[in-house]
Structure 1
Amino acid sequence: MRPFVALLAFLCLCLFDGCRSQENDIHPPPPSLIPYRISQNWKVRWGYCTPSKQIAIKTGYEAAEPFDSLFQRAKVKKGGLWGYIDPQGKFLIPPQFKAIGAFRNGIAPACNKQGKWGFIDSLGNEVLACRFERLSEPNEAQQATALYRGQWGIIHRNGTWLLPPAFEATALCGEGLLAAKKKGQWFFYDAQGHLLSEESYRRIRQCRDGRIAVANIVNGEYRYGFAGKHGHLVIPLQFKEVHNFSEQLAAAQDAATGKWGFVDTTGQWHIPPRYEQVRDFKQGRASVQSNGYWGIINTQGQAVVEFLYTILGNFSEGLAPVQYQGRWGYITSQGANAIAFFEAEQAGAFSQGLAAVKHKGQWGYINRKGEWQIPPQYEEAAPFRHGLAKVRFQGNEGYIDAAGRQYWK
């Protein structure tokens, strides 16, 4: 999936995100430097301009991303390779990498011209030599999964192998747990790479609340349960499907009825299985579907938002998009109608006081009153971030600000 399309898909993921402060509802001003696109003779070049569209950094890049407001740097592509520039357009990291991942704790995975991955620091120096076929982003402990000579292992940024490259796959499970797959079975290891248990599983998930969702084949079908941080099974393999634990509860699908409910950390039903679909608890509430309609329940299984909606989107800035009788609107976390229902094909979550809405095949943005702030005219439209949103217009990508100003020519 293309990164930009993935952003679009994120618009309508139905995850309950709770209310955020009204601080985020204010339209922030656009940043002092904005990626600016020029298209000429079928050739696209990027540079940076001021909010008044005065060119500040010449348009000589094949791609340009917004400046990081914290570190005052931006990722750009030149000659088919990626690097970073400062606000004066000088290279902090010369364009020398085929790909650069996200920086975390001062390091980022990067792929050199030869197609090998390693870790670099904020100046482009190799912290971990580029010698791997694949390398994940590091976790908080600065560990990463690495593919080396066709085998997977887990390595620390200092080059020490926690699990040697001798496995079919490896995973960072969170809460200090590592996992490795051998002959189709996953085993768990501690943070130092010591095997925790001889018990193994065909499928594993992330560790949450001290529990890891695991699965094996039972009577010809996958059945899910949960292992503890020691690797031993603590909740039997009895569910058709499960989610990770969230707020001490995990969504689980009853194998006999196919209905979803929620179990506690002992595996007992806390909320009986009676829903067609469910989403995880966040801030004491979860979106669930009953008889084809979505509503919201609390941790006691009581409905706090009625089952009225064919679609219930994620809450952001205190509002969630909902579809009711074929029309879209927005509700509060208490279920009150905040924006009257209107005709649209799709409606996204609010970000920085605006929500992307698709009307008659094109995307625009509405404000919290339900009025068009930016009329529908785009083929694709991502959420606002740092005062800018990425859109696709007439086949090309570019940036707009909250006033609808377009930064391209």
Structure 2
Amino acid sequence: MKYFHFIPAACIFLFCQCGGQDSHFLSDTKYIPVFSEDSCQYIDHGDNLHFTGTYSDASLFYDNMALICNQSDKKWGYIDDSGELQYPAVYTRATIFNENRAWVVRPDEAPCAIDTKGRLQLTLTRASKVMIFCEGMAAFAQKEKKGERWGFIDKSGTPVIKPLYKDVKPFSSGLAAVKNEKNLWGYIDSKGIEQIPAQFSSAESFSKERHAVVRSAKSGLFQVIDTKGDTLWTIECDALISDGNTFRIKKDKKWGWCDNKGNIFIEPRFEDSESFGNPDLAPVKIRGKWGYINRKGEWKIKRQFSKAFPFFDGLAVVQTGTVYGLIDPDGHFQINPQYDRISEDYIHQSIRKGSAFTLVESDHARYK
């Protein structure tokens, strides 16, 4: 059974030798894509215009290229940091570059992997969906009679892990969360060997701190586990989300924080919240308005925004009325509220989700 087309041996050699392990989780960015009326502008942190384009969507820069979508025909392409088109906008779908590879889909075709030189590396002829490479592995889905099933290919294009799972998450810390036929989550290694048994009703990828939030299928309690599957601590709550070395916790419809041992240090009292950013300020919502607190739970920027996001590279996106701007840690606008929207990719990075452009679907009629 073929999942893909092989490429010539010489190209495979290049494929294996190129690229590093650059993450799609960024800690900083030089330019911010913002949208106003019918244009996209890439601005710096001082609101100085770098270049503009007629894009309906745009990413940050990964491997020195940004993904853009033309307004006119909704086709995707790639630009460099001067705004020059590097690869024509001819794709119906595309991902960012990660580990020196991107997935692109031409009209009526299956997903293809290209390198940063624009060279075709392989085509997943039977894949209905595919994710970016993480730790040298890319998840792909294939439609079966019993529904869509997920597996993984390595960087040579070999399907190392067959499409057996109802759902998967990317590899992190050498492990991937996978969902079996019984709707239970566990973790496998890069050879497809189960390392942590399927026993959870939900499971997240391991963080860079090498812990993961899971929920026991038996007790319904949230747990934090290490890469060996050992439970570090357990807590009863409505939701638990990793926030670096701490965790956001929801109890009785209110949000707060606990430390890396499960001890609550900011009582759940907020209607909504987002992660702590850099510096250590987190956006929280009370009575319909957002502001920022520090790790002691003290207000540092008063409640005044319609929506607020974590600080990312020294600035935070906030919404005032119907427009968006960016503030500094003192609450002063560095980029005045004047834009219709900020790139979803920038927002994703600020809330610790990585890039917003990590998956494509096939455009081949058989696998749509």
> Which TM-score band (shorter chain)?
0.5 to 0.7
Change over 3 Å in CA distance of 1:110–1:215 after alignment to 2: closer
SS at match of 1:369: coil
Using structure 1 for the length normalisation, give the TM-score.
0.60
Matched, 1:235 2:161: yes
- Pairwise CA RMSD: 4.2
Change over 3 Å in CA distance of 1:370–1:238 after alignment to 2: same
Distance in 2 between residues matched to 1:74 and 1:194, nearest whole Å: 30
Distance in 1 between residues matched to 2:46 and 2:213, nearest whole Å: 47
Matched, 1:98 2:33: no
Choose from 269, 293, 298 the match for 1:366: 293
Q: Following superposition of structure 1 onto structure 2, how do residues 187-206 of structure 1 map, counting pairs within 5 Å?
A: 193=120, 200-206=126-132
Using structure 2 for the length normalisation, give the TM-score.
0.65
1:393 is matched by which residue type in structure 2? T
Matched, 1:315 2:243: yes
Match of 2:204 in 1: 279
2:298 is matched by which residue type in structure 1? E
1:234 is matched by which residue type in structure 2? V
Change over 3 Å in CA distance of 1:398–1:195 after alignment to 2: closer
2:321 is matched by which residue type in structure 1? Q
Cα deviation for residue 167 of structure 1 reads 5.2
SS at match of 2:325: strand
Choose from 311, 315, 327 the match for 1:384: 311
Matched, 1:250 2:208: no
Distance in 1 between residues matched to 2:297 and 2:47, nearest whole Å: 40
Paired residues of 2:237 and 2:249 also in contact (CA < 8 A): yes
Cα deviation for residue 98 of structure 1 reads 0.9
1:139 is matched by which residue type in structure 2? F
Match of 1:400 in 2: 327
User: How many residues get paired?
Assistant: 303
What are the superposed Cα offsets for residues 128-175 of structure 1, whole Å, 9 maximum, x if unpaired? 48664668576368776667xxxx1xxxxxxxxxxxxx75243448xx
Paired residues of 1:315 and 1:333 also in contact (CA < 8 A): no
SS at match of 1:382: strand
Larger radius of gyration: 1
Cα deviation for residue 370 of structure 1 reads 0.6
Distance in 1 between residues matched to 2:304 and 2:45, nearest whole Å: 31
Choose from 133, 142, 145 the match for 1:207: 133
1:397 is matched by which residue type in structure 2? Y
Cα deviation for residue 279 of structure 1 reads 0.3
Distance in 1 between residues matched to 2:29 and 2:129, nearest whole Å: 40
Paired residues of 1:380 and 1:392 also in contact (CA < 8 A): yes
Change over 3 Å in CA distance of 1:388–1:307 after alignment to 2: same
Choose from 186, 210, 219 the match for 1:261: 186
Distance in 1 between residues matched to 2:103 and 2:161, nearest whole Å: 28
Match of 1:349 in 2: 275
Which stretches in structure 1 are left out of the alignment for 5+ residues?
1-23, 25-67, 153-165, 178-190
Match of 1:220 in 2: 146
Change over 3 Å in CA distance of 1:222–1:376 after alignment to 2: same
Distance in 2 between residues matched to 1:365 and 1:264, nearest whole Å: 39
Cα deviation for residue 101 of structure 1 reads 4.8
Paired residues of 2:185 and 2:203 also in contact (CA < 8 A): yes
Change over 3 Å in CA distance of 1:203–1:83 after alignment to 2: closer
What are the superposed Cα offsets for residues 200-249 of structure 1, whole Å, 9 maximum, x if unpaired? 44443333444443343444333333344444443344332222222222
Match of 1:170 in 2: 111
Change over 3 Å in CA distance of 1:405–1:171 after alignment to 2: same
Match of 2:341 in 1: none
Percent identical: 28
Change over 3 Å in CA distance of 1:141–1:286 after alignment to 2: closer
What are the superposed Cα offsets for residues 347-369 of structure 1, whole Å, 9 maximum, x if unpaired? 22111111111112221111111
What are the superposed Cα offsets for residues 254-292 of structure 1, whole Å, 9 maximum, x if unpaired? 21x221111223333221111110001223311001233
Which stretches in structure 2 are left out of the alignment for 5+ residues?
1-26, 338-368
SS at match of 1:207: coil
Paired residues of 2:251 and 2:268 also in contact (CA < 8 A): no
Match of 2:364 in 1: none
By relative contact order (CA 8 Å, sep 6+), the higher-ranking structure is 2
